[in-house]
Amino acid sequence: MGTITRNFANNILGTGEVDATDGVNGTIPATNVADASLNNITSLPSSVGYAIKSVASDPPSLNAGEIFYNSTSGTFKALVNVEAWSSSAPMISAKKAAMPGGIQTAAFTAGGNDGPGNVNSTFEYNGSGFSTGGNINTTRRGGGGAGTLTAGLILGGFSTTVVANTEEYDGTSWTNVNSMNTGRSGTGSNGLQTAAFAICGYNGTSQTNLTEEYDGTSWTSGNTCPTSAGERGADGIQTAAIVFGGTTSTGPGTQTANAELYDGTSFTSASSLNTARERVSGFGTQSNAYAFGGDVPPSTGKTENYNGTSWTETSDMATARKENQSGQTGSPTAGIAMGGNTAPGSAISATEEYNSSTNTIVAAAWSSGGALNTARHNLSGAGTQTLGLVFGGYPSNNETEEYDGLTWSEQNNLNTGRGSGTGFGIQTAAVMTGGHNAQTTTENYDGTSWTASGALSTGRRYLAGAGTQTAGLGFGGYAPPSPAGLTATEEYDGSSWTTGGALSPSTFASAGCGTQTAALKMGGAGSGSPGPTAGTNTQEYDGSSWTTGGAMISANKSNQGSGTQTAALTFGGNTTDTQTLGYDGTSFSTRPSLATGRTYFAGFGTQTAALACGDNPAATTVEEFTGETITQVAKTLSSS
């Protein structure tokens, strides 16, 4: 007879607790489990006591370390804790030494330096990507941050000299408030907007040991820190903080591993970091603190956890960096690293999330898909990521291919070969309309062949489309020789087109997605060659008229879209040709970028499962976008 042995890493949280039930409702009594055969669950006694749940599949939620029995596989299992960094959407633009605050799902990064110089921008992170926030009043880098996304604080920093300026954020705009008593950069800071702290930092002449506390109105000097240093990291709150790392002089090679605890009044020494470093970041609490990144030198991705007694190395970041920004408040099990610096002057936009939980997180990303059989550009598409369809384009302009999620297969050609049209629908019921030379031609696809259908009222190319084969939409476009885009919208019922509400403003080469009664137009150009100008304009259609939606983060044209009006994706284009943005029905935020910048291509699918096919010049390359996935980690227990 065997015993249950927890044969897995010591990162299990808890001690293998069992469910305290009465042994009914599908649970298995745990009494005398050590005397039961793991292969003969029926031999377990029926006595009442603590019980182990019996389930047919691994449960969606249990405490880390809690044991359960999977009756399908005939094994005992427990959820294990995983600590790891995973990639996320990049910042809108690269920057380093910005001033951060918030939590992993609602963070901000304000000011900083983009390489050429200091900036005043604020980026807001929602757990999926970044959007633009209000600009700070004093352009600077290297200051401290605290608070939340809707009640944030930035302090000190370096403009053309060290400054003492303090600003508060309400989630929309920054307001100047009372300055620090001593201006400085590289201070260790954290806390809340109404209860923040700033410890140490560079005052323009030397590294200091000064401490100041902010009460929501003014700064008050506190006791000095045992270590005089700048470029320090800090975690915790005003009355229970930890400060660590830094540099003790203004010259090179003076990194420190020192760490101190602060109780709101006085300091005590804590165990030193394993790796001395400056320009280090952190998140967490005083008794469960994390320090990550920094300059050793060189830049490092090392992450350490302080458990109230000592520091232990954990999972490293994928990208070694210093001067990165961290959402500092909230849970010690969920951190974020935003941007930073990989080498002198090299600001980056890369973002990573740190999670300590029973979940394994696979970040959203673009990856290579099966290559098209025929290289082309200005093609159109319809369907889903695993049931896709592309058709038309140049130079071979009547080819049709179907995708099964792995490979493309040749199908019957269009009757009228053309590119620069639009497509919508599904793989077995698709539509292509419009095209080069301002065509009105429309064709329906039934999964086998194309059939001519009712013509558009207004011939055009570079139009966008949305909807299904029996409830479709075509809008915008360009009809040479006129240099302007079109406002015309037409609705399709499967056989004929009727006039719908006009776009405002006129647009061509925009991204479209959604349905006939809830469509979305993103970006596009407003005037024709030469020199068409890309735009940020977004329009939403309700089945009768268009209204203005949230503006795109950056101007784009010849981009593509997927998803719905309230859960959309737009990607590629010839002004920001690798950028991917998500739309939630109100505003845009960044998503992981395409691996290959592309324009005049086909794009379709959903917000979490999209395809980008072809490119200009003609190409066969295909990329697949997959949204973030979260799965629990269940470890099988062995017998001994």
The pLDDT tens digits for 307-334 are 999 999 999 999 999 999 887 776 799 9
Token reading at 632: 């629990």
Neighbours of 194 (CB within 10 A): 15
What pairing do the DSSP bridges indicate for beta strands 580-583 and 489-492? unpaired
For 175, left (φ over 0), alpha (ψ -120 to 50), or beta?
A: beta
Q: 437-440: which pairs have CB atoms within 8 A and are 24 or more residues apart?
A: 437/461, 437/480, 438/478, 438/479, 438/480
Which amino acid belongs to residue 91?
A: M
Helix (H) / strand (E) containing 122: strand 122-125
**Structural domains in the chain plus CATH codes:** 4-81+634-639 (no CATH), 84-357 (2.120.10.80), 374-619 (2.120.10.80)
Q: Could you give the CA distance from residue 231 to residue 142 in angstroms, rounded to a whole number?
A: 8
- pTM equals 0.88
- Cα of 579 vs its chain's centroid, Å: 12
Confidence label for 65 from pLDDT (cuts 50, 70 and 90): low
pLDDT band of residue 27 (cuts 50, 70, 90) is: very low
Rounded mean pLDDT, 504-531: 89
CA distance 516 to 504: 17
Among 42-56, 235-249, 372-386, 402-416, name the one with the lowest average pLDDT. Answer: 42-56
Nearest to 199 by CA among 140, 262, 291, 149: 262
pLDDT for residue 334:
94
- Hey, which residues does 322 pair with through a beta bridge? 341
The β-bridge partners of 560 are 571
- Quick one: average pLDDT of 164-172? 98
CB 338 within 8 A of CB 125: yes
Mean pLDDT of 221-230: 98
| pLDDT at residue 51, rounded to an integer | 65
Mean pLDDT, the chain, whole residue set:
90
Reported as a single tens digit per residue, the pLDDT across 264-278 is 999 999 999 999 999
* Number of neighbours of residue 441 by Cβ within 10 angstroms: 19
